Structure 1
């Protein structure tokens, strides 16, 4: 018997689903729980920290999730075990195990926001260099079976505070639990930086 599929409608665009998943492989997925808990918002006009979009009254994932981007197709949030401050995960809302499972629409959106998020994370952290890492399958070091990209700022090791983070690559190295007191303002800075990046792009298009 084929697995059943459930879909919920989103508040950002009621005509589009926010999350579709197969009951057999996503019921325990932490990223699916985040996707169904946090509704989409307009990245060009991000909500304030007290908004239900970012601080739901019930069903909030544990540990606390710090969302930085939430569209009808995608969601991005701070990694709970970051390799460096500003380490962000970007994934489809729908349960896609590997990159090749993403739909063409999701792939286009992922490509767009990988660039936007990279610029925003760099602006918010002041770190101009970063890694983009994406693993497919257990043998390739994928831990959560819901495809996602890592955007990882790479602070200069000689810079102040960088001694907390070893020279890491592709998931190897020193990892510390996310400090929630530091995470809240950082997530706010990244959301605002995303809006600024989008604003600059839209202004550029308007001049053409």
Structure 2
């Protein structure tokens, strides 16, 4: 009987995954990513927010024009942009902790990957939430790709997370000089990095309530 129940569960997950298959969507002329069917898009003053519910987690993609389009000078400036962004996201949650931050490359661009673990189980009794981020910064636009799910689905969600992350494609015309100008190392003279990419963090705060509501719906279906 246990084997039958397990087999039925596997079939159910397979059917659900099929119905929520991710399909390529053009975020703009330079970036494409796969999203679940039925995703929503909101466009306000040039800032695009894409949201959708996949089989085992929620997907969020932000495209936010940078308030300051002055080019960064060095790679260290780009790293500071990512650091400022990550700190801004972590401050949204009292019980959030950043895990596994690492550099990545998508096409010819440098990016940042990290997970934010939010544990409110002590006050709500809910499973901790894992929010997996990929950040891409260009001179004109900051892109945020997020896949989040209850921690108890960690093993089940790995394949879908990998599919989503691997679907990010950028135009071959985008290269490192769309991020910073010089190969020299070290800090640039007084760089106020905090103003770069800040708009994306603000937009992310706005949609937190919506994400929390969707996660609660997912939790109820576990």
Q: Same fold (TM over 0.5)?
A: no
Calculate the TM-score normalised by the size of structure 2.
0.25
Calculate the TM-score normalised by the size of structure 1.
0.27
Q: Which has a greater percent of strand? A: 2
Structure with higher RCO (Cα < 8 A, 6+ apart): 2
The structure with the larger Rg is 2
